[in-house]
Amino acid sequence: MTSTTVEPPTTDQVPTTPPTHVAPVIDIVVPVYNEEASLESSIAALHSYLADGFPFTWRVTIVDNASTDRTWLIANVIAGQVPGVRAIHLEEKGRGRALRHAWTDNDSTVVAYMDVDLSTGLDALLPLVAPLVSGHSDIAIGSRLATGAQVARGPQREFISRSYNAVLHLVFGNRFRDAQCGFKAIRSSVAQRLLPQVQDNAWFFDTELLLLAEHNGLRVHEVPVTWIDDPDSRVQVARTAFDDLRGVARVARRFWTGKGRIDLGDDARPGLDDDFGRQIVTFAKVGVLSTVVSLLLFLLWRGAVGAVWANLFAVSATALANTWANRRYTFGYRDDRGRSRHYLGGLVISVAGLGLSSLALANVTGSLAQILVLLLSWGLVTVARFGLLRRWVFRP
């Protein structure tokens, strides 16, 4: 493609292929910005892969984000010559903006996107979209951090990626492991409900979309991918990381104040009638961690203030965190629903348990005996605590 007489269109959105009467199952969006050097070869590779027996009908949508080179010109020519490819031009930058524009009111069953550099191996495309077509899942993401993924990238990006996803898990307790791999898909009906609630139009768009999905009970499917870092990436790592952390704080504040709930209509997944098995295992994990911390604090303070006061300080130091962890992870409350009642109930249970353990300690002498009595009383309180939390504090 050495010369062309095609002039760049001036309209904001120009589909360059004639409309089809049969909507494709999947529309794969490729956002681009100043990619004149690689666009033609990448789209050719993607088109060849899809045309070579991909089992679902498809369409490729190139979205030019205000490129200043020949990217839009090349995209427009490709769309005019290659069947199944269309091109859209936007006057503003932003990956999130490109996806929002291409995914909104899309007539396909599933909308997806991938980076133009094809860093992610295309053999993961079918495992990505199949659970969405079948209705098993609502969103599917490629993951460089899932078991089975094969990743080639430098230590700086590896460290930043793992640190960022660790921050997300700490703040939100999310189950997906890789928020920003440029390889995702979502059922179109779900996208139409979530997109108006996503505020970011840049790199944090992916993360916010996923957090909103999980916050509203949607199922996120994760596919381990083969991923090779693009040395010509245009991402400004430091600036992007800073903006992402601002986005994390914004979404956390939104969820904490009770916002972020979306009416999903027919796309909502009904909750389980009884989640006893998972609840008791999660409760046990929280309980073991709390017990270890409390015991260490008790041993640290016992010599200075005595066993009864050391028990008071140790239990008080972990009570709030224990209630917070059980509220979030054991019983799944991640917004302000019933928050005051939950914490008040947890406080009442903690005070009652503290009274029992203090009474037991007051009648025991000797270090070993005190520790054994303390662990026994804490164990009895823990059993009672689970029943009270489940039947009283966190009852539906």
Residue-by-residue pLDDT tens, the chain, 396 positions? 333 334 444 434 444 444 445 899 999 999 999 999 999 999 999 999 999 999 999 999 999 999 999 999 999 999 999 999 999 999 999 999 999 999 999 999 999 999 999 999 999 999 999 999 999 999 999 999 999 999 998 888 888 889 999 999 888 888 899 998 999 999 999 999 999 999 999 999 999 999 999 999 999 999 999 998 876 666 666 678 788 999 999 999 998 887 888 999 989 888 766 788 889 999 999 999 999 999 999 889 888 898 889 889 989 999 999 999 999 889 888 777 888 899 999 999 999 988 888 888 887 887 888 889 888 898 898 999 999 999 899 887
Strand partners for 143: 224
Calculate the alpha carbon distances from 385 to 239, 329, 345 in Å. 46, 15, 10
Across 68-88, b (16+ Cβ under 10 Å) vs e yields eebbbbbbbbbbeebebbbbb
d(CA 37, CA 35) in angstroms, rounded, equals 5
- The CATH fold assigned to 26-267 is Spore Coat Polysaccharide Biosynthesis Protein SpsA; Chain A (3.90.550)
CA angle 83, 84, 85 (to 5 degrees): 95
Instruction: Supply the pLDDT for residue 281.
Output: 93
Q: What is the structure's pLDDT at 3?
A: 36
Instruction: State residue 341 phi and psi, 5-degree precision.
Output: -65, -40
pTM, two decimal places = 0.77
Q: What pLDDT score was predicted for residue 18?
A: 44
pLDDT of residue 2: 37
Do residues 206 and 125 touch, judged by C-beta distance below 8 A? no
Residue-level pLDDT at 359:
87
Are 62 and 43 in contact by the 8 Å Cβ rule? The answer is yes
Using the structure block, give the residue that is written with the tokens 């995702």.
184
What's the Cα-to-Cα distance from 222 to each of 25, 41, 260, 278, 364, rounded to whole Å? Answer: 20, 28, 23, 20, 53
Question: What pLDDT shows up at residue 233?
Answer: 60
Q: Output the DSSP codes for 227-255.
A: EE--TT----HHHHHHHHHHHHHHHHHHH
Give the HSE-up count for residue 394: Cα atoms under 13 Å, Cβ half-sphere.
Answer: 26
| Ranges for all domains in the chain classified under CATH 3.90.550.10 | 26-267
pLDDT at 234: 60
Structure tokens at 24: 């494709």
pLDDT attached to residue 7: 45
Helix (H, G, I), strand (E, B) or coil at 26: strand
